[in-house]
Amino acid sequence: MIRTLPNKYTQGPDGLPCKIKKKKQSLDKIVKPLQALINLSYKQGKFPKQLKRTRKTPIRKNESSFDINNFRPISINSEISIIHKKAAHKQFVAFLNDNSLLLNRQHGYRHGRSTATAVQ
């Protein structure tokens, strides 16, 4: 899952760019602790408060940077929280599929299906 993150130099709230975390030396050091953190979070049924932090930054919409109305805020999440959410989503979808809890005509939000396949 870590390898699927985009190669960006954008820093999340932890101050480390994703590109650094994806290097082999970094991956070898963070995979086991990250796995333990995610599993503990699932057991406790809680999402760690530290991972809820985001870094907000203004992005210019139009030409003039002198008008505050020409900016929109974006939130930059920690890559660890993104990985945590992806892991939860993957397990949840697997549970739904393994237990046949989704109707066959359900197309939205399913891998290999879309609103286009629903009308075929």
Higher pLDDT among residues 25 and 96, named by residue: 96
Strand runs labelled E in the chain: 54-60, 71-77
CB atoms within 10 A of CB 81: 19
For 11-68, write each residue's pLDDT tens digit. Answer: 677 776 665 555 656 677 778 888 898 899 989 999 888 888 888 888 888 777 888 8
Both structure tokens of 76: 């930059």
pTM greater than 0.85? no
Question: Which band of pLDDT confidence, cut at 50, 70 and 90, is reported for residue 98?
Answer: very high
Q: What's the whole-number average pLDDT of the chain?
A: 81
Angle ∠(83,87,89) on CA atoms, nearest 5: 115
Q: Domain segments of the chain: what residues?
A: 2-118
